[in-house]
Amino acid sequence: MSCKLTQRFVPGYLDGELDLSRTIEMETHLQTCGECARELDRLQALRGTLQHSSLAYAAPEALRERIQSSLRASNPAAAAERPSGWNAFQFLRPLLLLRWAGAFAVLALCAVVALQLVPGLRGPSSDQRLAAEVLTSHVRSLEANHLMDVVSTDQHTVKPWFDGKLDFSPPVEDLASDGFPLVGGRLDYLEGREVAALVYQRRKHFINVFVWPDALGSSSTQTLAPQQGYNMVRWSRGGFQFWAVSDVSAQDLAEFVRLLEAHAAPESK
Ligand SMILES: [Zn+2]
């Protein structure tokens, strides 16, 4: 992570608003960069100062009294009426409470039913969270100048590069002859674990393919609805989960995934 990017994310880091992978990147950078570490210290000190009690101001009791009396003065009828009104209907109060309790129970029931019926009202599912993470990683890899740790168009260079860096060996195919050359790879983080990111190119566009072991993944290919102009496809093969994400067209991405699977199919490699 660059200094510029780190300093942009320092406030979010202080407030605990960064996702796991970015937090790890931040901490790695902060350990080695004095300038960014000082920026963090500076903001921490500023926050400590702002939280100091000498800066908090409590309104005096007299002000509170003045506001209340001017409210009473502006509406004397309501002020006079309320106590007698309460007294007259005193015996109804338990009944009113019961009615409120009933109304509350009905509201709670409606909320539960609505949450069951309307998927959008529920929190994001783990799949939606993962899709968001995949998209974030893709965008970050492009904007942070961190697309590749190993730059190579040779699958026999890229695949061994991951040895010793990951606890698995990702399958790597090259699709140069089909117009999707492999250009490199890097380590990335998804769902709190290290994953392999394989980078392919389609003309001027990049495709990130995230790979990690997932024995339980279904073998069906799932095309996700485009998000912020990016297309995403997920699938499983041979105990691995794959996510491809890119700003190439949906057709190009589908073709890419089809070719990748066709190359992987003959187990002769
Ligand atoms: Zn720095």
| Distance separating alpha carbons of residues 80 and 68, to the nearest angstrom | 14
pTM: 0.56
Distance 27 CA to ligand 1 centre (A): 11
As a dihedral over the C-alpha atoms of residue 103, residue 108, residue 110, residue 114, rounded to 10 degrees, the angle is 160
Q: What is the pLDDT of residues 90-115, one digit of tens each?
A: 666 666 677 777 777 777 777 777 76
Q: Ligand 1 mean position to 144 CA, how many Å?
A: 13
Length of the chain (residues):
269
Q: Cα(1) to centroid of ligand 1, in Å?
A: 8
Could you give the dihedral angle defined by the CA atoms of residues 139, 140, 142 and 143, in that order, rounded to the nearest 10 degrees? 110
In the reported structure, the alpha carbon of residue 153 is separated from the centroid of ligand 1 by a whole-number distance in angstroms of: 31
33 Cα–ligand 1 center, Å:
5
Which residues place a Cβ less than 5 A from the ion ligand 1? Answer: 3, 33, 36
Q: Nearest CA to 141 among 95, 89, 71, 195?
A: 195
Pairing of strands 182-190, 240-246: unpaired
Beta carbons of 220 and 235 less than 8 angstroms apart: yes
197 or 221, which is more confident? 197
Token code pair at residue 179 = 């117009």
Q: What is the pLDDT of residues 207-264, one digit of tens each?
A: 999 999 987 766 778 999 999 899 999 999 888 999 999 999 999 999 999 999 998 8
* Band of residue 127 on the pLDDT scale cut at 50, 70, 90: confident
- Residue 75 DSSP symbol: -
